[in-house]
Structure 1
Amino acid sequence: MTRIQYQECIDACLKCMDACNYSYVSSLKEYNLADLRESIQLDRECADICSFAVQAMTRRSPFVVEILRLCAEICDRCADASSRHEHTHCQDCIDACRNAAAACRLVSEAVEVYA
């Protein structure tokens, strides 16, 4: 596990957190809130777990592998929910979530090998 891989994952999680927070706020301004309910909920969950994953990585938590796996799963679910909508903020969220999920999986696998 290199410091660069950790930093890339941290950066991806921070970008995802920002995209999810923006999508969350933007979705609340849309007229079709009922249709966006699942995306709104997952935007919050995803932003929160990305923030927690960054904290776990920076403090070298002994649970970092499990946290990153959960983060990847939630990021994937958030991207799937956002893909049902054509709003620009949803589309931006998809890319950020997919990148964060891939980075979390890469780091969690690498950390597990070195453990």
Structure 2
Amino acid sequence: MTNQATMEQCIQECYNVAQLATRCAEHCLEAQNVQDMKACIRLCHDSAAITTACAEMMIRGSQFAPRACGVCAEVCDACAEQCERMGDDDIMRQCAEACRRCADLCRQMAA
């Protein structure tokens, strides 16, 4: 069972990922090798969407929030892995780190 502080932290981290993943996707669109960035762009968009939805479900106390958190953790892990594969880029590193933190918190919420 999770506590209110964990949920609040998870909500904040979800919104943080939504912002950073959106920024990362836009950054990827500006890359010279944008064709090689398609998977990263898609995962960043998926992460931004699921983290926003997940945060809103937690805020509303939705009965489906724990299941949404489980999916959110999976998407954030995949996004982090993809961003880490893209090399040493500060924006992608920030996105990956935020996704990892969010995934850990979402797993706690899903438990």
Q: TM-score per shorter chain, which class?
A: over 0.9
Shift of 1:5: 1.0
Shift of 1:65: 1.2
The answer for the alignment partner of 1:27 in structure 2 is: 28
The answer for the alignment partner of 2:49 in structure 1 is: 48
Shift of 1:62: 0.8
CA RMSD for the aligned pairs? 0.8
Q: Within 2, Cα distance between the matches of 1:54 and 1:7?
A: 9
Shift of 1:34: 1.1
Q: Which runs of 5+ in 1 are unaligned?
A: 110-115
Q: Which runs of 5+ in 2 are unaligned?
A: none
Q: Deviations over 1:81-102 (max 9, x none)?
A: 1111122211111100000000
The answer for the alignment partner of 1:104 in structure 2 is: 106
Q: Within 1, Cα distance between the matches of 2:86 and 2:65?
A: 32
Aligned length: 109
Q: Within 2, Cα distance between the matches of 1:96 and 1:2?
A: 21
The answer for the alignment partner of 1:8 in structure 2 is: 9
Q: Deviations over 1:66-114 (max 9, x none)?
A: 10000000000001111111222111111000000000011221xxxxx
Indicate the percent of aligned positions where both proteins have the same amino acid.
Answer: 27
Counterpart residue type for residue 99 of structure 1: R
Q: Within 1, Cα distance between the matches of 2:71 and 2:60?
A: 18
Q: Within 2, Cα distance between the matches of 1:65 and 1:44?
A: 21
